[in-house]
């Protein structure tokens, strides 16, 4: 018997805690993509993102009682766990992100880009995406997080502040600094210096 899609996360988690594998799988399928994308955009490594997502759901399978429904939705809880794992990963290996650029990440970029472009345009586009990605990954983790959440995940300031657990003003200021740094990096990449105080 399959579990209906509309069953609430809490119900699924309760079933999973009792050993219902189908409920656990459905929970995983509901949340894995968003968590993987966030981890991928933050770490720049498909391998690290895969490990992080696996770790999150291992924790959920092992200790489902860690989640308290009274404190928010399961998605937010999982996002919080993902954020902690990402930060730990960045602290542990802050500079290992560039090692994988020719690996799976490039494959993801290539798969999406090769559909509608000529080889030359595709190569140029791919190079541009790589530069932007490197610029994002080069941001300090707090600023990167704000940029990833607000610009790549397209969250509102309120949602981002809730996800990170900080005031909206902090998000605004981090995003502003992040944008300024990003602009400076992208302009440096293009050799077009525009404004001296952009990265201040």
What's the closest the beta carbon of residue 165 comes to other proteins, in angstroms? 18
Question: What is the rounded distance in angstroms from the CA atom of residue 55 to the CA atom of residue 145?
Answer: 20
| Residue 186 interacting with other proteins (CB under 8 A) | yes
Q: Which of 42, 48, 12, 45 is nearest to 27 (CA)?
A: 12
Asked if 168 is part of the footprint of other proteins (rule: CB under 8 A), the reply reads yes
Of 160, 45, 18, 41, residue with least CA distance to 100? 45
Cα–Cα dist 112/126, whole Å? 10
Among 99, 108, 121, 123, binds other proteins (CB under 8 A): 108
At its nearest, how many Å lie between other proteins and the CB of residue 69? 21
CB 6 to other proteins: min, Å = 21
Sites for other proteins among residues 68-107 (CB under 8 A): none
Binding residues with other proteins: total (CB under 8 A) = 54
Q: In residues, how long is the chain? A: 200
| Nearest residue to 59 via CA among 38, 84, 93 | 84
User: In Å, how far from its chain's centre is CA 38?
Assistant: 1
Which of the stretches 5-13, 68-76, 89-97, 191-199 binds other proteins when contact is defined by CB under 8 A? 191-199
Minimum gap (Å) between residue 122 Cβ and other proteins: 12
Half-sphere exposure of 52 (CA within 13 A, CB side): 32
Least spacing, CB of residue 153 vs other proteins, in Å: 8
Site for other proteins in 122-161 (CB under 8 A): 125, 128-129, 132-133, 136, 147, 150-154, 156-158
Q: How far apart are CA 42 and CA 49, in angstroms?
A: 9
Cβ atoms of residues 163 and 149 within 8 Å: yes
Q: Is residue 65 close enough to count as binding other proteins by CB under 8 A?
A: no
Which helix H or strand E contains 88, and what residues bound it?
helix 74-92
Point out which residues bind other proteins (CB under 8 A). Answer: 16, 19, 21, 24-25, 28-29, 32-33, 35-37, 40-41, 46, 49-50, 53-54, 57-58, 61-62, 108-109, 112-113, 125, 128-129, 132-133, 136, 147, 150-154, 156-158, 168, 172, 175-176, 179, 182-183, 186-187, 194-195, 198
């Amino acid at each position: 018997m399959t579990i209906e899609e509309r069953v609430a996360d809490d119900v699924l988690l309760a079933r999973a805690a009792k050993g219902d594998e189908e409920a656990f799988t459905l929970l995983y399928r509901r949340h894995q993509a968003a968590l993987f994308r966030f981890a991928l955009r933050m770490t720049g490594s498909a391998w690290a993102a895969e490990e992080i997502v696996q770790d999150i759901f291992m924790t959920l399978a092992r200790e489902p009682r860690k989640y308290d429904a009274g404190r928010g939705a399961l998605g937010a809880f999982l996002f919080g766990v993902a954020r902690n794992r990402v930060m730990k990963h960045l602290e542990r290996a802050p500079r290992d992100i560039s090692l994988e650029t020719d690996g799976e990440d490039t494959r993801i970029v290539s798969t999406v880009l090769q559909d509608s472009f000529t080889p030359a345009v595709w190569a140029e586009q791919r190079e541009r995406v790589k530069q932007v990605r490197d610029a994002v990954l080069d941001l300090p983790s707090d600023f990167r997080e704000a940029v990833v959440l607000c610009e790549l995940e397209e969250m509102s300031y309120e949602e981002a502040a809730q996800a990170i657990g900080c005031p909206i003003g902090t998000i605004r200021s981090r995003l502003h600094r992040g944008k300024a740094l990003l602009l400076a990096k992208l302009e440096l990449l293009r050799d077009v210096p525009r404004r001296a105080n952009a990265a201040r």
